[in-house]
Copies of this chain bind each other. A is one copy, B any other.
Amino acid sequence: MDDLLAAVKFNDQGLVGAVVQDAQTREVLMFAWMNREALRLTLAERRAWYYSRSRSKLWLKGESSGHTQKVLSVRLDCDGDAILLEVEQTGGACHTGYQSCFYRRAEPGGWVEDGVKIFDPDRVYGA
């Protein structure tokens, strides 16, 4: 585990960016941040942990929504400063109810929401 963590270049805030991809559909679901402990837990438990910059704390994906991510693979990029997780996503990845956080596409007139909405956030998180 220490060998794995040693190759990762955390930034000056102690964080590394993580891209999350659905292993089955290959859809890119989200981008989030991990600190060293989040990455260690993710590697050890094979479920996705992140670090919330706004709340300054570790969070287990799905801890309030139940929309957990089972981690099938963890990849590191050439520079050692970005992670790619392949996951089995339960429910939707995005807190807005969309399958993916990238539910907006650029069109000449503005951002168009064309994502697939699969749950009602008021029901999952409380209104």
Contact = CB atoms under 8 A, between A and B. Distances in A.
A75 to B, nearest CB: 4
A16 B94 CA distance: 19
Taking the full assembly, how many copies of this chain does it contain? 2
B74 A103 contact: no
The 6 closest A-B pairs by CB, nearest first: A26-B26, A31-B82, A75-B102, A74-B106, A77-B101, A84-B102
Task: Give the size category of A's interface with B.
Answer: 20 to 34
A96 interface: yes
Interface of A: 3-4, 7, 17, 19, 21, 26-28, 30-31, 43, 73-79, 82, 84, 94-96, 98, 101-106, 109-111
28 contacts: A3-B110, A3-B111, A4-B111, A7-B110, A7-B111, A17-B31, A19-B19, A19-B28, A19-B31, A26-B26, A28-B28, A30-B77, A31-B82, A43-B106, A73-B105, A74-B105, A75-B105, A75-B106, A76-B102, A76-B104, A76-B106, A76-B111, A77-B101, A78-B94, A78-B95, A78-B96, A78-B98, A78-B101
